[in-house]
Amino acid sequence: MIFNIYKPIGWTSFNVVKKIRGITGEKKVGHGGTLDPFAEGVLIIGTGADTKKLTGISGHVKSYRAVLKLGIETDTLDLEGNAIKSAHVPNLDEADVQQTLISFLGDYEQTPPMYSAKKINGVRLYKLARQNKTVEREPSVVQIHQIVLNGIFEDKIDFFVTCSKGTYIRALGMDIAKKLGTVGHLVELQRIAVGDRKIQDSIKIEEFEAEWISTVH
């Protein structure tokens, strides 16, 4: 079966997989695209034979709402990391910020963050990052299909983005900050769609558990 689960903040994607495995009793459970622990929203879960469908699902276009805080960059590029850089935040003109966001539309070359699950020579980058090691990463070409400014709040930019598989929104946030002449990190990230599976149709883990128990019994 395929489920559209609402991943809460603070859970890893694997935590959700483990929880669903415990609820359903299915040995084979997987997810269709990692969502960072600080992020929340749509996480597609597959069980049993349907785990084979997850590869196709993970390739679908994804949509996010993100909040980028300017002036400080962290090693993880999100609010869970340690500050490594600071810079002056320029006056943010709405038209300039909109133009900066629009400049990322289409093909965009992006370097994967050190704190990511991407493997280099068989080792996940985050494992090297935790040992304070930095390695050369080849940039990947990703696609930004839509990017919209939701609002500017003092030193924060709230935006919506629809993008291809393999896009790191944390790295996009860093690149947006750089183009604005400063540094930044994400303080909020919400995945609002994976293909046609939307956040309004997702189910919270406790609701899923209650429904599962009532169906089984």
Q: Cα 115 from chain centroid? A: 12
Q: Measuring CA to CA, how many Å separate 198 from each of 41, 47, 62, 137? A: 9, 19, 10, 32
Q: Is 157 in the same domain as 133?
A: yes
Q: Is 147 in the same domain as 82?
A: yes
What number is the average pLDDT over the span 61-89?
Answer: 96
Hey, what's the torsion of the CAs at 138, 101, 44, 58, to 10 degrees? -40
How far apart CA 2 and CA 13 sit, in angstroms, is 15
Name the active-site residue from 36, 75, 78, 175. 36
Domain range for 109: 62-194
201 an active-site residue? no
Given pLDDT bands bounded at 50, 70 and 90, which one contains residue 129? Answer: confident
Q: Is 12 in the same domain as 108?
A: no
Q: Is 158 in the same domain as 76?
A: yes
Q: Is 127 in the same domain as 51?
A: no
Q: Is 190 in the same domain as 200?
A: no
Q: Is 75 in the same domain as 23?
A: no
Give the count of domains, the chain. Answer: 2
Q: Measuring CA to CA, how many Å separate 188 from each of 13, 16, 41, 91, 157? A: 17, 19, 11, 22, 10
Phi/psi at 150 (5° precision): -90, -35
* Tens-place pLDDT, residues 151-209: 999 999 999 999 999 999 999 999 999 999 999 999 999 999 999 999 999 999 999 99
Q: Is 95 in the same domain as 34?
A: no
Q: Measuring CA to CA, how many Å separate 212 from each of 20, 25, 44, 182, 206? A: 10, 11, 17, 48, 10
Q: Is 160 in the same domain as 177?
A: yes
* Domain CATH number, residue 210: 3.30.2350.10
Look at residues 188, 197, 200 and name the one whose alpha carbon lies nearest to residue 159.
Answer: 188
How far apart CA 99 and CA 161 sit, in angstroms, is 14
* Tens-place pLDDT, residues 7-62: 999 999 999 999 999 999 999 999 998 899 999 999 999 999 999 999 898 889 99
Q: Is 101 in the same domain as 183?
A: yes
Q: Is the pLDDT of residue 84 over 90?
A: yes
The pTM assigned to this predicted structure is 0.93
Let me know: does 114 contact 125? Beta carbons within 8 Å. yes
Q: Tell me which DSSP letter residue 88 carries.
A: P
